[in-house]
Amino acid sequence: MTRRLLLLLPLLAFLVLAVFLYRGLSINPFERESALMAREFPDFSLSTLADPQRQVDVSLLQGEVTLVNVWGSWCPTCRQEMPQLLALAERGVRLVGVDYKEQGTDTAQQRDKGSAFLRQFGNPFEVNIFDPEGTLGFDLGVYGAPETFLVDAEGVIRYHHTGYITAEDVDKVIMPEVEKWR
Protein backbone atom coordinates (compact mmCIF):
# COMPACT_ATOMS: atom_id res chain seq x y z
CA MET A 1 0.00 0.00 0.00
CA THR A 2 2.72 2.47 0.95
CA ARG A 3 4.56 1.55 -2.24
CA ARG A 4 1.46 2.46 -4.21
CA LEU A 5 1.32 5.83 -2.51
CA LEU A 6 4.95 6.35 -3.40
CA LEU A 7 3.95 6.15 -7.04
CA LEU A 8 1.87 9.31 -6.56
CA LEU A 9 4.96 11.32 -5.65
CA PRO A 10 5.84 12.35 -9.22
CA LEU A 11 2.28 13.56 -9.75
CA LEU A 12 2.49 15.57 -6.56
CA ALA A 13 5.81 17.06 -7.59
CA PHE A 14 4.33 17.96 -10.96
CA LEU A 15 1.36 19.69 -9.35
CA VAL A 16 3.55 21.75 -7.04
CA LEU A 17 5.75 22.76 -9.95
CA ALA A 18 2.72 23.60 -12.10
CA VAL A 19 1.31 25.89 -9.43
CA PHE A 20 4.63 27.70 -9.06
CA LEU A 21 5.13 28.14 -12.77
CA TYR A 22 1.55 29.27 -13.26
CA ARG A 23 2.00 31.90 -10.58
CA GLY A 24 5.18 32.99 -12.28
CA LEU A 25 3.22 33.71 -15.42
CA SER A 26 0.93 36.14 -13.66
CA ILE A 27 3.69 38.19 -12.03
CA ASN A 28 4.12 41.62 -13.53
CA PRO A 29 7.88 42.18 -13.77
CA PHE A 30 7.42 45.92 -13.44
CA GLU A 31 5.62 45.71 -10.13
CA ARG A 32 8.50 45.09 -7.85
CA GLU A 33 8.64 46.25 -4.32
CA SER A 34 11.06 49.09 -3.84
CA ALA A 35 14.38 48.17 -2.26
CA LEU A 36 13.83 51.17 0.01
CA MET A 37 10.63 49.86 1.57
CA ALA A 38 10.48 50.48 5.32
CA ARG A 39 13.69 52.49 5.10
CA GLU A 40 14.27 56.17 5.57
CA PHE A 41 13.84 58.44 2.63
CA PRO A 42 17.35 59.06 1.22
CA ASP A 43 18.94 62.34 2.17
CA PHE A 44 19.34 64.98 -0.49
CA SER A 45 20.14 68.63 -0.87
CA LEU A 46 18.48 70.21 -3.88
CA SER A 47 16.78 73.44 -4.82
CA THR A 48 13.09 73.74 -5.50
CA LEU A 49 11.67 74.05 -8.98
CA ALA A 50 10.05 77.40 -8.23
CA ASP A 51 13.02 79.01 -6.49
CA PRO A 52 16.66 78.23 -7.37
CA GLN A 53 17.72 79.95 -4.15
CA ARG A 54 15.68 77.74 -1.88
CA GLN A 55 17.47 74.58 -0.80
CA VAL A 56 15.49 71.70 0.65
CA ASP A 57 16.55 68.43 2.24
CA VAL A 58 14.98 65.35 3.74
CA SER A 59 13.55 67.28 6.70
CA LEU A 60 10.92 68.46 4.21
CA LEU A 61 9.27 65.08 4.64
CA GLN A 62 9.09 65.04 8.42
CA GLY A 63 5.97 65.51 10.46
CA GLU A 64 3.23 64.57 8.03
CA VAL A 65 2.34 61.66 5.77
CA THR A 66 3.46 62.75 2.31
CA LEU A 67 3.17 61.36 -1.19
CA VAL A 68 6.36 61.97 -3.11
CA ASN A 69 5.68 61.83 -6.82
CA VAL A 70 8.54 61.61 -9.29
CA TRP A 71 7.55 63.25 -12.56
CA GLY A 72 8.96 65.00 -15.61
CA SER A 73 7.51 67.07 -18.41
CA TRP A 74 9.04 64.58 -20.88
CA CYS A 75 6.94 61.77 -19.44
CA PRO A 76 3.59 61.30 -21.17
CA THR A 77 2.09 59.09 -18.47
CA CYS A 78 2.82 61.82 -15.91
CA ARG A 79 0.30 63.93 -17.81
CA GLN A 80 -2.32 61.23 -17.49
CA GLU A 81 -1.60 61.00 -13.80
CA MET A 82 -2.04 64.69 -13.02
CA PRO A 83 -5.85 64.68 -12.55
CA GLN A 84 -5.53 61.93 -9.96
CA LEU A 85 -2.80 63.81 -8.10
CA LEU A 86 -4.95 66.95 -8.11
CA ALA A 87 -7.82 64.92 -6.70
CA LEU A 88 -5.58 63.55 -3.96
CA ALA A 89 -4.41 67.06 -3.04
CA GLU A 90 -8.03 68.16 -2.90
CA ARG A 91 -8.74 65.40 -0.42
CA GLY A 92 -6.09 66.80 1.85
CA VAL A 93 -3.15 64.58 1.02
CA ARG A 94 0.17 66.36 1.17
CA LEU A 95 2.07 65.98 -2.09
CA VAL A 96 5.68 66.76 -2.82
CA GLY A 97 6.92 66.50 -6.40
CA VAL A 98 10.32 65.57 -7.72
CA ASP A 99 10.87 67.16 -11.11
CA TYR A 100 13.10 64.42 -12.46
CA LYS A 101 15.66 64.84 -15.24
CA GLU A 102 14.13 67.60 -17.32
CA GLN A 103 15.85 67.87 -20.66
CA GLY A 104 17.59 71.03 -21.75
CA THR A 105 20.95 72.60 -22.27
CA ASP A 106 21.05 74.40 -18.92
CA THR A 107 19.14 74.40 -15.66
CA ALA A 108 17.20 77.54 -16.56
CA GLN A 109 15.79 75.79 -19.60
CA GLN A 110 15.11 72.67 -17.55
CA ARG A 111 13.26 74.70 -14.93
CA ASP A 112 11.19 76.36 -17.63
CA LYS A 113 10.09 73.01 -18.96
CA GLY A 114 9.07 71.77 -15.53
CA SER A 115 7.22 74.98 -14.69
CA ALA A 116 5.42 75.05 -18.04
CA PHE A 117 4.22 71.51 -17.40
CA LEU A 118 2.71 72.51 -14.06
CA ARG A 119 1.07 75.58 -15.57
CA GLN A 120 -0.53 73.43 -18.24
CA PHE A 121 -1.60 70.41 -16.23
CA GLY A 122 -2.03 71.85 -12.74
CA ASN A 123 0.14 71.84 -9.65
CA PRO A 124 -0.99 69.58 -6.83
CA PHE A 125 2.37 69.79 -5.08
CA GLU A 126 3.19 71.75 -1.97
CA VAL A 127 6.81 71.86 -3.12
CA ASN A 128 8.66 70.52 -6.13
CA ILE A 129 12.18 69.27 -5.60
CA PHE A 130 14.22 70.10 -8.68
CA ASP A 131 16.32 67.07 -9.65
CA PRO A 132 17.87 67.85 -13.05
CA GLU A 133 20.59 65.22 -12.85
CA GLY A 134 18.36 62.56 -11.39
CA THR A 135 20.54 62.11 -8.32
CA LEU A 136 17.63 61.90 -5.91
CA GLY A 137 15.78 59.71 -8.37
CA PHE A 138 18.77 57.38 -8.48
CA ASP A 139 18.98 57.13 -4.70
CA LEU A 140 15.27 56.33 -4.70
CA GLY A 141 15.85 53.54 -7.20
CA VAL A 142 13.54 55.20 -9.72
CA TYR A 143 13.77 53.50 -13.09
CA GLY A 144 10.92 55.14 -14.92
CA ALA A 145 8.69 58.07 -14.09
CA PRO A 146 6.09 58.38 -12.77
CA GLU A 147 6.78 56.65 -9.50
CA THR A 148 5.20 57.51 -6.20
CA PHE A 149 6.45 56.95 -2.66
CA LEU A 150 4.38 57.21 0.46
CA VAL A 151 6.47 58.59 3.30
CA ASP A 152 5.15 58.47 6.86
CA ALA A 153 5.47 61.27 9.39
CA GLU A 154 8.84 59.91 10.54
CA GLY A 155 10.23 60.07 7.01
CA VAL A 156 10.12 56.32 6.40
CA ILE A 157 9.04 54.97 3.00
CA ARG A 158 5.90 52.90 3.49
CA TYR A 159 4.51 52.33 0.05
CA HIS A 160 5.81 52.47 -3.48
CA HIS A 161 3.73 52.81 -6.63
CA THR A 162 5.37 52.18 -10.00
CA GLY A 163 3.67 53.54 -13.06
CA TYR A 164 0.91 56.10 -13.04
CA ILE A 165 -1.85 56.26 -10.47
CA THR A 166 -5.18 55.57 -12.12
CA ALA A 167 -8.50 57.01 -10.95
CA GLU A 168 -9.28 53.57 -9.56
CA ASP A 169 -5.98 53.44 -7.66
CA VAL A 170 -6.85 56.67 -5.86
CA ASP A 171 -9.73 55.06 -3.97
CA LYS A 172 -8.59 51.49 -3.86
CA VAL A 173 -4.89 51.82 -3.13
CA ILE A 174 -3.58 55.29 -2.41
CA MET A 175 -6.21 56.62 0.02
CA PRO A 176 -6.24 53.43 2.12
CA GLU A 177 -2.43 53.51 2.32
CA VAL A 178 -2.45 57.18 3.32
CA GLU A 179 -5.03 56.48 6.03
CA LYS A 180 -3.08 53.48 7.23
CA TRP A 181 0.03 55.50 8.00
CA ARG A 182 -1.61 58.64 9.26
Partner 1 sequence: MALMRSLMLGALVMLALLGSGSLLAEAIEVRSFDNPVTEQRYQDLTATLRCPKCENQAIGDSNSPIAADMRERVYLQLKDGRSDKEIIDYMVERFGDYVLYNPRLEGRTLLLWGLPGALVLVGVVTLVLLIRSRRKSRLQALSQEEQQRLAALMKREVGE
Q: Give the interface with partner 1 as residue ranges (CB under 8 A).
A: 29, 32-36, 101, 134, 138-144
**Exposed (0-12), middle (13-18) or buried (19+): which is 132, by Cβ within 10 Å?**
buried
Spatial contact of 147 and 162, defined as CB atoms under 8 Å apart: yes
Number of other residues whose CB lies within 10 A of the CB of residue 3: 6
**Smallest gap, in angstroms, from Cβ of residue 17 to partner 1?**
11
Q: Which is nearer to partner 1, 35 or 116 (CB)?
A: 35
The pair phi, psi for residue 181, each rounded to 5°, is -100, 0
Q: Which is nearer to partner 1, 65 or 151 (CB)?
A: 151
Q: Which is nearer to partner 1, 56 or 75 (CB)?
A: 75
Q: Which is nearer to partner 1, 138 or 181 (CB)?
A: 138
Spatial contact of 96 and 57, defined as CB atoms under 8 Å apart: no
160: which strand partners? 149
70: which strand partners? 98, 147
**Smallest gap, in angstroms, from Cβ of residue 145 to partner 1?**
10
**Smallest gap, in angstroms, from Cβ of residue 37 to partner 1?**
9
**Smallest gap, in angstroms, from Cβ of residue 142 to partner 1?**
8
